[in-house]
Amino acid sequence: MTTAAFWDKAAEKYAKDPISDMESYTQTLDIMKDLLQPQHRVLEIGCGTGSTALELAPQVDRYIGTDISSNMVEIATEKLADTNLDHLSFQVAQAHDLPGTGHDVVLALNLLHLVENMGETLGSIYDALPSGGIFISKSALLGEGSWYLGPMIALMRAVGKAPFVARFSEAELIRMMEHAGFTITQTIKQDGMAPRLFVVAQKP
């Protein structure tokens, strides 16, 4: 099963499931709301069904959300129809295939651990931003998670119940971002079965 097919199949359930850790989600959402400015043009890759985009879009100039799953994008677009956010749009795209130009901020929330081509994805994000542009991400640190997560995910993936998931630690993720050229300006580590690392980075 391809990655897109997996998320297409999961989209309806994903849209209905509540956020598992609302406190952590709210913490990082509030930080992003403080960072985003009215003039910012934002690109979110891996936007899922658009919940975060709908929260953040009202305070920026332009917001584009992309996802590999056409079903996810369809659900996000249906949600958008109930708003007056004319400057928000959703489209299908690969994580490393960034649409349009003129992005001041790129978001990759709960995404980087799901991409198989991390170097290419980080390079595309870096190239899409101007000097001073902001890259915000939140990633699961499977390399620091419970020992049984690796075998469990491998088994689930073998039967089509899980997507590809990369294993890396906080230090490894930071090193990959810095290798791509980013300067790290803020990190927040959130506890869990697999810790999550929220990172604010900037293109020099």
Domain assignments of the chain as residue spans, ordered by start: 3-202
From the options 1.25.40.10, 3.40.50.300, 3.30.310.80, 3.40.50.150, give the CATH code of 3-202.
Answer: 3.40.50.150
Quote the pLDDT of residue 8: 87
Reported as a pLDDT band with limits 50, 70 and 90, residue 154 is low
At 20 the pLDDT is: 84
What are the distances in angstroms from CA 165 to CA 61, 134, 198? Answer: 33, 25, 17
Angle at Cα 78 formed by Cα 82 and Cα 52, nearest 5°? 80
pLDDT tens-digit map of 98-133: 987 899 999 999 999 999 999 999 999 999 999 999
3-state secondary structure the chain: CCHHHHHHHHHHHHHHCCCCCHHHHHHHHHHHHHHCCCCCEEEEECCCCCHHHHHHHHHCCEEEEEECCHHHHHHHHHHHCCCCCCCEEEEECCCCCCCCCCCCEEEEECCHHHCCCHHHHHHHHHHHCCCCCEEEEEEECHHHCCCCHHHHHHHHHHCCCCCCCCCCCHHHHHHHHHHCCCEEEEEEEECCCCCEEEEEEECC
Confidence of residue 76 (pLDDT cuts 50, 70, 90): very high
Angle between helices 170-179 and 118-128 (to 10 degrees): 50
Give the pLDDT confidence score for residue 164 in this predicted structure: 84
- More confident: 92 or 96: 92
In which band, very low, low, confident or very high, does the pLDDT at 143 lie, cut at 50, 70 and 90? confident
Average pLDDT of the chain to the nearest whole number: 92
Reported confidence tier of residue 18, pLDDT bands at 50, 70, 90: confident
At 78, is the pLDDT very low, low, confident or very high (cuts 50, 70, 90)? very high
**pLDDT exceeds 80 at position 145:** no
- Per-residue pLDDT tens for 165-202? 899 999 999 999 999 999 999 999 999 888 999 999 99
Residue 6 in this model has a pLDDT that exceeds 80: yes
